[in-house]
Structure 1
Amino acid sequence: MAPTDRSFARRRLLTATAALTGTALLGGTAHAAETPKSAWPDQFPLPDGFQPEGITIGHRPFAYFGSLATGAVYRANLATGRGSVISEGLGTGHPTVGLKIDHHGRLFLAGGDSGEIRTVDARSGKIEKVYATGGTFVNDVILTPGAAWFTDSFKPQLYKLTKAGVETVPLTGDWVQGDDFTANGIERTPDGSALLVVNAFANGGTLERVDPRTGAARAVDLGASKIPNGDGLLLLGKTLYVVQQAQNAIDVFRLNAAGTKGTAITRITDPRFRIPTTVAAWGERLYLPNARFDVEPTPDTEYDAVSVPKV
């Protein structure tokens, strides 16, 4: 079994286990299917065999999805649901996991177990640069002024990409590294002073607040809630959306400005969820790719993206 196959096999095992053992303790459940539909499609197909994981949406209504299979990037028009592959990627062994787009139309791609960080021109699809991190599994990315920050799921460290290159920032403080997938999604605190990182291992699944200057991590107080299978994060104002992939749910928290404490608001569920992994927003909707980690991927496996209303 190739390294990529082993990594994703472990991830599928993790999602199956978490589905049986972990549930966030929340005050209520929101069923997205009960919300009135808009004129735009609330579900649309992605290419067969694509193996989507990450999603990002910029200042225009287009969603970009990364492929675990080949590292390709697919762009979909949210108004129609139609799209095409805009960047072919580097092929097998060079996946695209998390991705983000900046205001200049540049995509920042997390390269999974290739250990790569890649930048792509979203207009032409051209791969601009490939950075070697020396990492084990570069998973997710968030953009801050002057830098892009990436998690590594198998090493207690973050990668900071600036114009000067890639810097490794060790995670210390409360950070506890597991033997398998540990760090996953990453975001900023509402006041922008620190980073928020999912730790799927520590204390049954926690959210960690990380000082970007030192790498010191402190567990965010989420009360009785756990995020054992937390994946993608999305912060809108002080509302944090945490995709709980194997639970087929999005857990929603209200954070304080510093990101040191969060209160559970609700859990969003939808019968169309098939192991969603990451989330992005446009207008009043949240968009998620269904990664389908519960099935063995083939070139003919069908994939799609779905949208649900924001809280």
Structure 2
Amino acid sequence: MTRKHPQTSPLSRPSRRAVLGGAAFAAFTAAAGAGTARAGGHRPAWPAEFPLPDGWLPEGIAIGRAPYAYLGSRADGAILRTDLRTGKGTVLHQGTPGLAAIGLKIGHDGLLYVADGGGGTARVVDARTGGLRRTHQLTESTGQFINDVVLLRDRAWFTDSRGAVLYGVPRGRGGTVRELPLTGDWEQVPDVINANGIVSTPDGRDVIVVKSTPGELYRVSLRTGRATRIALAGAENVVNGDGLVRVGRTLYVVQNRLNLVTVFDLDARATTATLRRSITDPRFDVPATAARFRDRLYLVNARFTSPQTPETTFTAVAVPL
């Protein structure tokens, strides 16, 4: 597949303004305007929208402590690294025909943990060099779909959208993969996307998983696998829930085909999620996952409802938290 790599672009404002309303909109447009005052002079603001290679077929995005976004490709499992300060991207990790990179997270160890989708595997990639460190075979069963990942203590926990199970991959050199069946309130729905996005709970003990169909949130015990449905207050469901981002006790749920990010306040035990607000933006085109950097939420437009060809264009966009 021939790809056109993104060029450095002096994007100083979004190509289409976000309709966010009130003070949040005013603050964002000021930040994404022609320049931002700094001691000793002015410099261009970071772009609030940047292109990805044509035909990239993106879905996952990860951002660590440095201002770089890592974006996986569903086309062949390649990984793109984009400088958030300029919007310029380069291919960090070359793809392989038949492979995919779905969800991914970056750890403080400088390693990327990548969910490989239908291949049933998880990869560990060096975020500095792009080199492949390890590949873990999570399931030998056909028809499974390794979708997203969260890093929590000594393991990377992966969801399987076709199976009622989480997989815990050791983050060190030793150890074995732990298979954690989901029990309790969890009921697997056949022939649809079940477990999708995953984040840690505010207390750092367990994880929160979104079930895309019928649109539910669960707290899952990493000790027992017991899943407890999180009560939603002010929202009927989170159907099409995809990527999750948690900042303190604020949970951001990307609802991909609705072009919506729903923002909830979690209670102390993460058993109730109360709707705070929703984020919409005319630049959204079926956003799949999101990652936070400073006061922005970066989302990748997967464009699932558009033709998925080598010529299809893709972008990532930023909205204020």
Classify the TM-score, shorter chain.
Answer: 0.7 to 0.9
User: 2:229 aligned with 1:219, yes or no?
Assistant: yes
- When residues 246 and 37 of structure 1 are mapped into structure 2, their CA distance, relative to the original with a 3 A threshold, is farther
2:177 aligned counterpart, secondary structure: strand
State the shift of 1:165 in Å.
2.3
Residue in 1 aligned with 2:77?
71
Matches within 5 A, 1:23-42: 30-31=20-21, 35-38=28-31, 39-42=45-48
Structure 2 residue corresponding to 1:138, chosen from 142, 146, 153? 146
Residue in 1 aligned with 2:37?
none
Whether the 8 Å CA contact 1:33–1:270 is kept in 2: the answer is no
Structure 1 residue corresponding to 2:109, chosen from 101, 104, 110? 104
Residue in 1 aligned with 2:5?
none
Whether the 8 Å CA contact 1:30–1:266 is kept in 2: the answer is no
The one-letter code matched in structure 2 to 1:196 is I
Residue in 1 aligned with 2:315?
304
User: 2:248 aligned with 1:240, yes or no?
Assistant: no
1:113 aligned counterpart, secondary structure: coil
Whether the 8 Å CA contact 1:193–1:258 is kept in 2: the answer is no
Moved over 6 A (4+): none
Matches within 5 A, 1:203-218: 204-218=214-228
Matches within 5 A, 1:250-265: 250-265=261-276
Structure 1 residue corresponding to 2:132, chosen from 127, 131, 144? 127
- When residues 205 and 158 of structure 1 are mapped into structure 2, their CA distance, relative to the original with a 3 A threshold, is same
Measured in 2, the distance between the counterparts of 1:63 and 1:131 equals: 24
Matches within 5 A, 1:145-224: 145-162=153-170, 163-179=174-190, 180-201=192-213, 204-224=214-234
Structure 1: where are the runs of 5+ without partners? 1-28
- When residues 302 and 224 of structure 1 are mapped into structure 2, their CA distance, relative to the original with a 3 A threshold, is same
Whether the 8 Å CA contact 1:189–1:257 is kept in 2: the answer is no
Whether the 8 Å CA contact 1:109–1:117 is kept in 2: the answer is yes
1:254-310 Cα deviation digits (max 9, x unpaired): 001221111100000000000001111111110011000001211111001000000
Structure 2 residue corresponding to 1:117, chosen from 99, 110, 122? 122
Residue in 1 aligned with 2:54?
48
Measured in 2, the distance between the counterparts of 1:205 and 1:249 equals: 13
- When residues 248 and 266 of structure 1 are mapped into structure 2, their CA distance, relative to the original with a 3 A threshold, is same
1:126-162 Cα deviation digits (max 9, x unpaired): 1111111115100000000111000000000000011
Residue in 2 aligned with 1:14?
none
2:269 aligned counterpart, secondary structure: coil
Once superposed, what is the RMSD of the aligned Cα atoms?
A: 1.3
- When residues 68 and 33 of structure 1 are mapped into structure 2, their CA distance, relative to the original with a 3 A threshold, is farther
1:243 aligned counterpart, secondary structure: strand
Measured in 2, the distance between the counterparts of 1:52 and 1:257 equals: 34
Paired residue total? 279
Measured in 2, the distance between the counterparts of 1:161 and 1:76 equals: 26
Measured in 1, the distance between the counterparts of 2:97 and 2:219 equals: 34
Structure 2 residue corresponding to 1:62, chosen from 43, 58, 68? 68
2:66 aligned counterpart, secondary structure: coil
Whether the 8 Å CA contact 2:234–2:274 is kept in 1: the answer is no
Whether the 8 Å CA contact 1:249–1:268 is kept in 2: the answer is yes
1:222 aligned counterpart, secondary structure: strand
Higher-Rg member (1/2): 2
Residue in 2 aligned with 1:271?
282
Measured in 2, the distance between the counterparts of 1:165 and 1:100 equals: 20
Residue in 1 aligned with 2:4?
none
2:129 aligned counterpart, secondary structure: coil
The one-letter code matched in structure 2 to 1:86 is L
Measured in 1, the distance between the counterparts of 2:93 and 2:238 equals: 33
State the shift of 1:33 in Å.
5.9
- When residues 250 and 306 of structure 1 are mapped into structure 2, their CA distance, relative to the original with a 3 A threshold, is same
Residue in 1 aligned with 2:11?
none
